[in-house]
Structure 1
């Protein structure tokens, strides 16, 4: 009887695992904050959109060294997206036409000499 329960639990776990994979959008990516400062807001909108969508962080803050996984619905087909980050002091940085169908990770860094936030794309 014990082996039947274990096999049944394994089958259910496998079903959820495959279901999660099937639901993942090809635009899913991770943002890693290596700027040295907290990020208060992150906005991601389709490149042809004239307005920013909702803050993907919600009420959270992405501290330096932390990462945030952004997931899209399976039905989403758009690959080109813009992203805006806002630091806790109100300063911001924007990237346009990010091809999220080819990006799995963005590592954000701030250069104190130039005052520019850059994104290393993986």
Structure 2
């Protein structure tokens, strides 16, 4: 019985380790802390140009909501451009050369006194 129990523990640990290894280090949770709704969230590589974007959102990302972005094996590199379009405004925010391999959470923020949008990486 101890042998079966030990085997189950080892099997469980191998599955847990396999899933942790399989997670892409660029996958990121994006938290909207701007006070405004976001209708578009895009990532592209620095060599892709600034005209090629795919929206990672299935629906509007409201204030205090989180979107989880997963990258594919075909995506290369840690450094990406990040673009946000507001739901009720005809403006975009662009951050260039963000190293997604250095954090798991990207908190988007807006400072109304300076009218600047920033992010905090965790």
- Please, what TM-score do these two structures have when normalized by structure 2? 0.79
Q: Which SS does the other structure have where 2:102 is aligned?
A: coil
Higher helix share: 2
Aligned residues: 118
Given that 1:33 and 1:62 are in contact with CA atoms closer than 8 Å, whether structure 2 keeps it comes out as: yes
- How far apart are 1:18 and its partner, in Å? 4.8
User: How far, CA to CA, are the matches of 2:11 and 2:87 in structure 1?
Assistant: 43
Q: For structure 1, which runs of at least 5 residues remain unmatched after alignment?
A: 1-9
User: Residues 1-122 of structure 1 correspond to what in structure 2 (within 5 A)?
Assistant: 17-50=16-49, 51-57=51-57, 59-74=58-73, 76-89=75-88, 90-122=90-122
Runs of 5+ unmatched residues, structure 2: 1-8
